[in-house]
């Protein structure tokens, strides 16, 4: 039987990041991945090789924002392993039915100039809106980059600029209360407070709702950062597709001596006397971990499916019930459409320019339409009457993804996981069938064609993935694209539950990482990095504390140096 220091379950990007830090600390590490390629929701694949050749698609993530808020790329030297980020500019295009359009550039000034063509007042307010949320981003970044319960780690991440951001938001008692009040509001409240024009409000609502809640969701005003992150630090895509990030991480892990085994589905975690000792695969094979087992599968999958109930109960008799019932996993999921196109979509009624297709392309006609795009799926309805969507033409920014002159189209469309009234039918009893997913995709493409009429005739081939198919492929329960809901009650030290929030579990040497842990879903690598920090601290309390203190002093000195420069 093979033996390692650490075994990581799953080889998504967070697991690979976590493994790299453990390897750097000198441990022997094995990652076990159920699929034939690593990456999970961060891959680039041919998808339709029998139908078209020369096209590369991103079946899941495309736009990378949060990874630029942390040091993972630099610390793991991923550029040395082939990673090259291509920043997008413009960052967002959203055509409006009345002929107006929102074109967001990386530059705030250029974005304001675009808005001013239709509304000088909203342009002025946009600069204010961005300024506020940039300061929030500055304040939150140190928290994203530290384990949520490690106050010392968090404090060490605040340099002078970030402290300034924090104090500018919370200068006096009333200012602090007003800031907290803002955070209790919804994206819709905030957007209405600042702006008048629907052509601007609808795309901002759509982006805010990318945190997976409707624009009216109270306590989720923070979703407003989804547009502001596109200005700073910016939105980028790895050259060659999202899978190029995974490839660089794989090279890094292998270079550091790590092992990745694919087509190895973990069936259970082996626990002996309250201690995680290894894993067993569906094939029956066992692997032993001398120091720890790290799950990049969320707490629900880990404690309800992979650990024997008697072992969970022995560690914490309430845990199974809390994991099953207190963690929320809503019904909203993604129908993913990937197309090979003979030519790029042309927004003929909006003075088409190819630069519209560089960043995210949103179909968001009104805030009300975006609201329904989220609320309908939650009650089991497909919002087919007037589809809103998030699309991209990745080959416009990165021509290596398609044959010359041809393009790829990426569409994310929110649908229910369980269709109301169709219980017990279709795939996994969700109501989803081949016929239905094709009908829905037809409707979505019809809607896109209202703006870009050439899109339908240019589809050479397409691949549609329904929520239960996504669940089957990468294992995410109910097709939840962030593993668990990203609502306020499940973020930071609440993610996934307070007692599991610092990557440790009540079972000794069993750790959690991945999108189901702080700071949550998306391409960031931060759950992986933070988890590694906690694991190393618990294995080597003194040496790790000295090294962390060194890092903290170094970063404080660097920030002071920058300020005095």
Ligand X SMILES: Cc1cc2nc3c(=O)[nH]c(=O)nc-3n(C[C@H](O)[C@H](O)[C@H](O)COP(=O)(O)OP(=O)(O)OC[C@H]3O[C@@H](n4cnc5c(N)ncnc54)[C@H](O)[C@@H]3O)c2cc1C
Closer to ligand X at the Cβ: 102 or 481?
481
- Could you tell me if 463 and 289 are in contact, meaning their C-beta atoms sit under 8 angstroms apart? no
Residue 466 lies near ligand X (rule: CB under 6 A):
no
- Which residue in the set 336, 374, 397, 462 belongs to the binding site for ligand X (CB under 6 A)? 336
- The residue count for binding ligand X (CB under 6 A) is 37
Phi, psi (degrees; rounded to nearest 5) at 22: -65, -40
Over the window 223 to 262, marking each residue x when it contacts ligand X by CB under 6 A and - when it does not, the resulting string is: ----------------------------------------
The Cα 519–Cα 490 span in angstroms is 10
- Which residue in the set 4, 20, 35, 148 belongs to the binding site for ligand X (CB under 6 A)? 35
Closer to ligand X at the Cβ: 130 or 300?
300
Over the window 409 to 438, marking each residue x when it contacts ligand X by CB under 6 A and - when it does not, the resulting string is: ---x--------------------------
- Which residue in the set 8, 25, 32, 112 belongs to the binding site for ligand X (CB under 6 A)? 32
Closer to ligand X at the Cβ: 126 or 287?
287
The Cα 495–Cα 492 span in angstroms is 6
For residue 376, give Cα distances in angstroms to 332, 387, 391, 496.
Answer: 8, 11, 20, 25
- Which residue in the set 19, 20, 25, 40 belongs to the binding site for ligand X (CB under 6 A)? 40
- Which residue in the set 20, 25, 30, 41 belongs to the binding site for ligand X (CB under 6 A)? 41
- Could you tell me if 409 and 58 are in contact, meaning their C-beta atoms sit under 8 angstroms apart? no
Residue 340 lies near ligand X (rule: CB under 6 A):
no
CB of 416 to ligand X, least distance (A): 15
Which parts of 505-534 interact with ligand X (CB under 6 A)? 514-515, 521-523
Closer to ligand X at the Cβ: 33 or 165?
33
The Cα 282–Cα 201 span in angstroms is 49
The Cα 173–Cα 228 span in angstroms is 26
Stretch that binds ligand X, among 36-44, 115-123, 169-177, 218-226 (CB under 6 A): 36-44
Residue 398 lies near ligand X (rule: CB under 6 A):
no
- Could you tell me if 221 and 207 are in contact, meaning their C-beta atoms sit under 8 angstroms apart? no
Over the window 4 to 23, marking each residue x when it contacts ligand X by CB under 6 A and - when it does not, the resulting string is: -----xxxxxxx--------
Of 334, 113, 325, 103, nearest in space to 212 by CA: 334
Q: How many Å is the maximal CA-CA distance in the chain?
A: 69
Cβ-based neighbours of 558, under 8 Å, separated by 6 or more: 159
Closer to ligand X at the Cβ: 88 or 190?
88
Alpha helices in 242-363 (DSSP H): 243-255, 299-301, 309-315, 319-325
Stretch that binds ligand X, among 71-79, 162-170, 377-385, 472-480 (CB under 6 A): 472-480
Alpha helices in 185-232 (DSSP H): 187-194, 198-208, 225-229
Stretch that binds ligand X, among 27-35, 79-87, 97-105, 400-408 (CB under 6 A): 27-35
The Cα 62–Cα 390 span in angstroms is 11
- Could you tell me if 496 and 517 are in contact, meaning their C-beta atoms sit under 8 angstroms apart? yes
- Could you tell me if 24 and 232 are in contact, meaning their C-beta atoms sit under 8 angstroms apart? no
Nearest residue to the partner ligand X, using Cβ: 12
Closer to ligand X at the Cβ: 182 or 331?
331
- Which residue in the set 7, 22, 52, 63 belongs to the binding site for ligand X (CB under 6 A)? 63
Closer to ligand X at the Cβ: 96 or 483?
483
25-40 per-residue burial string, b: 16 or more CB within 10 A, e: under 16: bebbbbbbbbbebbbb
Cβ-based neighbours of 304, under 8 Å, separated by 6 or more: 320, 323, 324
Residues that bind ligand X (CB under 6 A): 9-15, 32-35, 40-42, 60-64, 265-266, 296-297, 334, 336, 412, 470, 474-476, 481-482, 514-515, 521-523
């Amino acid at each position: 039987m093979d033996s390692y220091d650490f075994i990581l379950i799953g080889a998504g990007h967070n697991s690979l990041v976590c493994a790299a830090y453990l390897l750097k600390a000198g441990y022997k590490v094995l990652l076990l991945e159920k699929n034939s390629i690593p990456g999970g929701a961060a891959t680039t694949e041919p998808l339709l090789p029998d139908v078209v050749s020369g096209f590369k698609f991103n079946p899941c993530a495309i736009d990378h924002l949060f990874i630029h808020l942390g040091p993972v790329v630099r610390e793991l030297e991923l550029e040395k392993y082939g990673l090259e980020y291509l920043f997008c500019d413009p960052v967002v295009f959203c055509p409006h039915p009345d002929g107006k359009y929102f074109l967001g550039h990386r530059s705030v000034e250029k974005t304001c100039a675009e808005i001013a063509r239709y509304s000088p007042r909203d342009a002025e307010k946009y600069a204010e809106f961005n300024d506020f949320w940039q300061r929030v981003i500055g304040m939150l970044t140190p928290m994203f980059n530290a384990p949520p319960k490690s106050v010392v780690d968090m404090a060490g991440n605040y340099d002078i600029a970030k402290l300034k951001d924090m104090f500018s938001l919370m200068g006096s008692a009333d200012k602090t209360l007003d800031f907290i009040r803002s955070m209790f509001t919804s994206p819709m409240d905030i957007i209405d407070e600042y702006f008048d024009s629907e052509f601007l409000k609808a795309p901002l609502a759509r982006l805010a709702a990318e945190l997976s809640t409707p624009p009216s969701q109270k306590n989720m005003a923070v979703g407003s950062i989804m547009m502001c992150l596109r200005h700073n630090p910016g939105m980028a895509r790895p050259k060659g597709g999202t899978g190029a990030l995974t490839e660089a991480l794989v090279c890094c892990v292998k270079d550091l001596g790590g092992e990745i085994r694919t087509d190895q589905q973990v069936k259970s975690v082996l626990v002996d006397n309250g201690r995680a000792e290894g894993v067993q695969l569906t094939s029956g094979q066992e692997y032993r971990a001398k120091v720890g087992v790290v799950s990049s599968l969320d707490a629900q999958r880990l404690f309800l499916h992979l650990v024997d109930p008697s072992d969970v109960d022995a560690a914490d008799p309430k845990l199974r019930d809390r994991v099953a019932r207190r963690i929320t996993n809503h019904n909203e999921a993604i129908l993913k459409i990937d197309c090979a196109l003979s030519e790029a979509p042309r927004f003929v009624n909006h003075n088409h320019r190819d630069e519209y297709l560089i960043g995210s392309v949103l179909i968001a006609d009104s805030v009300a339409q975006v609201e329904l795009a989220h609320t309908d799926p939650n009650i089991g309805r497909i919002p087919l009457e007037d589809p809103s969507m998030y699309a991209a033409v990745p080959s416009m920014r990165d021509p290596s993804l398609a044959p010359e002159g041809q393009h790829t189209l990426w569409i994310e469309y929110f649908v229910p996981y369980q269709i109301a009234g169709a219980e017990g039918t279709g795939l996994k009893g969700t109501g989803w069938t081949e016929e239905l997913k094709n009908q829905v995709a037809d409707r979505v493409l019809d809607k896109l064609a209202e703006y870009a009429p050439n899109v339908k005739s240019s589809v050479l081939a397409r691949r549609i993935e329904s929520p239960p198919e996504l669940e089957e492929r990468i294992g995410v329960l109910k097709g939840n694209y962030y593993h668990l809901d990203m609502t306020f009650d499940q973020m930071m030290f609440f993610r996934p539950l307070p007692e599991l929030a610092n990557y440790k579990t009540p079972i000794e040497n069993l750790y959690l990482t991945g999108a189901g842990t702080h700071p949550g879903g998306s391409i960031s690598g931060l759950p992986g990095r933070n988890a590694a920090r906690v694991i190393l601290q618990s294995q080597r309390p003194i040496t790790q504390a000295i090294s962390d203190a060194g890092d903290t002093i170094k970063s404080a000195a660097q920030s002071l140096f920058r300020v005095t420069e």
